[in-house]
Amino acid sequence: EAISCAEGSVADFSLPAEALTFEPPCEAVVTHFADGDKERKIHCNTELQELELAKLALLRLEAKAEDLSFYPCVTAMATRFLSCARMDAKKALRMMQATQEWRRQYFGAGPVSDTQVAQDLRYGIVYFSGRDQALR
C-alpha cells in the first residue's frame, strides 16, 4: 500500500461513474505522429496491439528467466515501461526493477498518510490531478 487516506479526505466524484463505462476513441488511446512514430496514451483496460502483446510476452519470459517478481502496481505499468524503452524488453525489465526498488525503499515503513503530508499542504504546494475529455 502506497497511500493511506481518511475517507473524509477523499472528494466525491474522485472517480466519475462514466469512467467505468467510457470507451475512448482510437486517437485518444494511441497518438500517431507525422514521422510515423506512435505513442500509447491509455495503457489499462484497453486492448493491446499485436506487437505490444508479443513484447509483453517477451518481457514475462525475461522476468521468469531471471526469477524476478514484481509488485502488482509495477506489473500494471509493464506496457508503460515497454513504451518508454522503445519495446526493448531487457531495458523495460531494468526500469521495472529500479521502480520496484524505489517503491520498496520509499514505502518500506508503510504508506504515506494524509496526516503525514498535512503540514506540507499548508505551504500551498499541491499536485493536482484530473482527467481530460478522454478520461485519461
Transcribe 34-56 into DSSP letters: TTS-EEES--SSSPPPHHHHHHH
Structural domain boundaries enclosing 62 = 3-121
Q: CB of 136 within 8 A of CB of 42? A: yes
The bridge status of strand 112-113 relative to strand 3-4 is: parallel
Instruction: Please indicate, yes or no, if residue 12 is contained in any of the structural domains.
Output: yes
136, part of any domain: no
Is residue 127 pLDDT above 70, yes or no? Answer: no
In this prediction, residue 126 carries a pLDDT of: 67
pLDDT of residue 136 exceeding 80, the answer is no
Question: Hey, what's the cell of 24?
Answer: 475512448
Q: Residue 88 contacts by C-beta under 8 Å, 6 or more apart in sequence?
A: 82
pTM for the whole structure: 0.80
Mean local confidence (pLDDT), 26-49: 93
Asked if residue 41 belongs to a domain, the reply is yes
In a domain, 17, yes or no: yes
In a domain, 128, yes or no: no
| Total tally of structural domains belonging to the chain | 1
pLDDT digits (tens, 9 = 90+) for 3-19: 888 888 888 877 778 88
Q: In the chain, what percentage of residues exceed pLDDT 70?
A: 96
In a domain, 131, yes or no: no
Q: Indicate whether 128 pLDDT > 80.
A: no
Helix, strand or coil for residue 4? strand
Distance CA 71, CA 35 (A): 36
Q: pLDDT grade, residue 1 (50/70/90)? A: confident
Judge whether 50 lies within some domain: yes
Assigned domain for 134 exists: no
